């Protein structure tokens, strides 16, 4: 660290204060060396019937004073449209393995319970049609998790027939009577959730036999979903990196390699929360630098997990036909004091913005295998995009990172080389800087750079091999403290602000604020 002491003589008194000189880091980019497409689906969301994630967060009902369209909040829809949510995983989570879809269709809904999440009343007023209406309103695709734990293959098969057939079957007529004559499009089908735990505590072999049955019989009949439009089936995958989990991946992938015509999968899920201590003990607000670095160190474990499971998948699927789908990820902290602990309510700080950027960068670097991911969870639960309280809504720092990263959706990965340096605190050393680059469809180059260091700015210089920078523009998100959050009262503490990189002699330089996420577009 270099500090320059600047002395000012002001009104005869000598004031001495430190001006922190930024570390300099050169980023070298050869935009002609492109890699895999960063699938827009890695920016997917997860909405479980849990706490206020669905009820209140999305669904307020048509009679609510909160502005809504057919019961779905207009403010939330507008906010989600702005981040171009590609897909939403629903109805769980653990809830999915207790979900019986028939309770949530038609004029008379069955009032049941949500035993996984506090045993509260589940009114089933937000069911199949409401979910499909919601994703249509936000312009996303449906990722349905079917009930393997306590359901049957027949129940799941009938749900899919109800949703997707264009033929005049009894189920299609029922769908029509319930207001939707046209078949729905279902992009993704999750066959169970955490079947090794809340989804039924199955062994890998037992789950594998279930998977084969569901894969065979749960069909999508939508005539428009042929070939490239086909529904993709995602198997339950590992929940960590230990032998138990690598064995799970081995079991599924080995069977995949030897599969017969009668079953198939397109994805294998991976669940990994940044939690450090279980049960979740770290505070989501009101913490210091020690907890800041501990959480960020832990989140970087995602890299090793993805690498480890990808290596196993490579053995059995060298053509990378099966995607690694990280369909639950994010920070999981202690419940906010005073909240219902079963509702998983936590705040969302600038640390979470950085955590989100680091994970998205890892997925982008593994874009050839990681083609889908779903942050947990979309609204009011865990590392949420949005928090609501009755008619109020606030966008979290994580939301803003997802918005800043929109240009990376379906852009082509471009490698960046740099010496990240080190940020050291409390005997933990992390790379000071992280960066990804990508080229969008129009050929524009985008850079996402995270300065993890909460104390030091970093001055970057971007060098383009065989090309020069003509102009650049961007946005940066930071906030005064490591635990700064946006609240209903102060919603703009951590929001993106424009930055103007300096372009001189074909090179770009920019000073990055401490603890910041910056996205810039570069014209060459
Ligand atoms: O996201 C909360 C819970 O975490 C999900 O329901 C479950 O799949 C996971 O254990």
Average pLDDT for 206-231: 95
Task: Tell me how crowded residue 127 is: count the other CB atoms within 10 A of its CB.
Answer: 20
Q: Is the pLDDT of residue 8 over 80?
A: no
| Rounded (10°) angle between helices 74-82 and 128-138 | 50
User: With the C-alpha atoms ordered 219, 223, 224, 229, is the resulting torsion angle positive or negative?
Assistant: positive
Q: Is the pLDDT of residue 20 over 70?
A: no
Predicted local confidence at residue 23, as pLDDT: 84
The model's pLDDT over 392-411, given as tens digits with 9 standing for 90+, comes to: 999 999 999 999 999 999 99
Predicted local confidence at residue 227, as pLDDT: 80
Beta bridge partners of 315: none
Residue 513 appears among annotated catalytic residues? no
Closest residue CA from atom 6 of ligand 1? 93
Give 162-169's long-range contacts (Cβ < 8 A, gap of 24+). 162/101, 162/105, 162/128, 163/128, 163/132, 164/220, 164/221, 164/222, 164/225, 165/221, 165/222, 166/221, 166/222, 166/223, 167/221
Q: Is the CB of 97 under 6 A from ligand 1?
A: no
> CA 411, CA 328: separation in Å to the nearest integer?
23
Q: Is the pLDDT of residue 7 over 70?
A: no
Predicted local confidence at residue 466, as pLDDT: 84
Given the residues 194, 250, 291, 513, the one annotated as active site: 194
The model's pLDDT over 112-142, given as tens digits with 9 standing for 90+, comes to: 999 999 999 999 999 999 999 999 999 999 9
Given the residues 141, 161, 250, 328, the one annotated as active site: 328
DSSP reduced 3-state for 55: strand
Closest residue CA from atom 3 of ligand 1? 93
How far apart are the CA of 94 and the centre of ligand 1, in A? 6
Predicted local confidence at residue 492, as pLDDT: 98
Q: Is the CB of 161 under 6 A from ligand 1?
A: no
- The contacts of residue 145 (CB under 8 Å, 6+ apart) are 89, 90, 91, 92, 93, 96, 190, 192, 193
Predicted local confidence at residue 21, as pLDDT: 65
Predicted local confidence at residue 66, as pLDDT: 98
The model's pLDDT over 450-475, given as tens digits with 9 standing for 90+, comes to: 999 999 999 999 999 988 999 999 99
- For 203-262, where are the E strands, in sequence order? 232-235
Q: Is the pLDDT of residue 109 over 60?
A: yes
Q: Is the CB of 93 under 6 A from ligand 1?
A: yes
| pTM score, whole prediction | 0.95
pLDDT category of residue 230 using cuts at 50, 70 and 90 = very high
3-state SS, 170-182, equals HHHHHHHHCCCCC
How far apart are the CA of 140 and the centre of ligand 1, in A? 21
Using most ligand atoms within 8 A of CB, pick from 118, 376, 380, 383 the residue to mutate for ligand 1.
376
The model's pLDDT over 370-379, given as tens digits with 9 standing for 90+, comes to: 999 999 999 9
Average pLDDT for 325-341: 98
Q: Is the CB of 514 under 6 A from ligand 1?
A: no
| Omega cis (within 30) before 26 | no
Q: Is the CB of 194 under 6 A from ligand 1?
A: yes
> CA 458, CA 469: separation in Å to the nearest integer?
20
> CA 174, CA 257: separation in Å to the nearest integer?
39
Q: Which of 38-42, 292-296, 502-506 has the lowest mean pLDDT?
A: 502-506
Compute CA distances 55 → 121, 158, 288, 334, whole Å: 11, 26, 33, 22
Residue 242 appears among annotated catalytic residues? no
Predicted local confidence at residue 56, as pLDDT: 98
């Amino acid at each position: 660290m270099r500090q320059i002491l600047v002395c000012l003589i002001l009104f005869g008194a000598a004031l001495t204060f430190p001006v922190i000189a930024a570390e300099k880091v050169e980023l070298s980019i050869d935009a002609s060396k492109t890699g895999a497409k960063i699938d827009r689906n890695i920016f997917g969301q997860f909405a479980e019937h849990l706490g206020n994630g669905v009820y209140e967060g999305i669904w307020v009902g048509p009679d609510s004073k909160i502005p809504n369209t057919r019961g779905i909040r207009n403010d939330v829809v507008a906010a989600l449209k702005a981040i171009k949510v590609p897909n939403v995983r629903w109805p769980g989570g653990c809830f999915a393995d207790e979900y019986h879809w028939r309770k949530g269709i038609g004029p008379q809904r069955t009032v049941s319970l949500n035993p996984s999440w506090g045993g509260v009343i589940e009114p089933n007023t937000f069911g199949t049609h409401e979910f499909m209406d919601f994703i249509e309103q936000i312009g996303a695709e449906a990722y349905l998790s079917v009930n393997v734990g306590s359901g049957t293959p027949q129940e799941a098969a009938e749900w899919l027939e109800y949703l997707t057939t264009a033929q005049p079957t009894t189920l299609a007529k029922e769908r029509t009577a319930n207001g939707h004559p046209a078949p729905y499009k279902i992009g993704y089908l999750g066959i169970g959730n955490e079947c090794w735990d809340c989804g039924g505590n199955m062994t890998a072999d037992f789950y594998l036999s279930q998977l084969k049955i569901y894969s065979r019989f749960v069909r999508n009949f939508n005539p428009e979903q042929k070939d490239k439009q086909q529904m993709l089936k995602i198997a339950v995958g590992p929940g960590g990196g230990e032998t138990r989990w690598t064995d799970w991946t081995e079991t599924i992938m080995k069977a995949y390699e030897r599969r017969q015509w009668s079953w198939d999968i397109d994805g294998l899920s991976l669940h990994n929360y940044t939690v450090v201590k279980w049960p979740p003990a770290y505070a989501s607000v009101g913490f210091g630098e020690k907890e800041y670095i501990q959480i960020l160190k832990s989140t970087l474990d995602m890299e090793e997990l993805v690498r480890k499971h990808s290596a196993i998948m490579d053995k059995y699927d060298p053509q990378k036909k099966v995607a690694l789908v990280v369909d639950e990820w994010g920070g999981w902290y202690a419940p906010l004091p005073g909240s219902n602990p079963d509702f998983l309510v936590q705040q969302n700080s600038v640390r979470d913005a950085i955590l989100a950027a680091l994970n998205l960068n890892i997925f982008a670097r593994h874009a050839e295998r990681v083609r889908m991911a779903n942050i947990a969870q979309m609204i009011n639960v865990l590392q949420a995009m949005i928090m609501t309280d009755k008619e109020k809504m606030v966008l979290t720092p994580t939301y803003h990172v997802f918005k800043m990263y929109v240009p990376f959706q379906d852009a082509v990965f471009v490698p960046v080389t740099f010496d990240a340096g080190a940020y050291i605190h409390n005997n933990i050393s992390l790379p000071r800087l992280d960066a990804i680059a990508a080229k969008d469809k129009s050929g524009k180059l985008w850079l996402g750079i995270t300065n993890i260091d909460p104390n030091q700015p970093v001055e970057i210089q971007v060098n383009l091999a065989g090309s020069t920078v003509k102009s650049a523009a961007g946005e940066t998100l930071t906030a005064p403290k490591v635990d700064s959050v946006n609240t209903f009262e102060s919603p703009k503490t951590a929001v993106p602000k424009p930055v103007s990189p300096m372009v001189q002699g074909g090179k770009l330089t920019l000073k990055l604020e401490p603890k910041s996420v910056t996205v810039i577009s570069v014209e060459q």
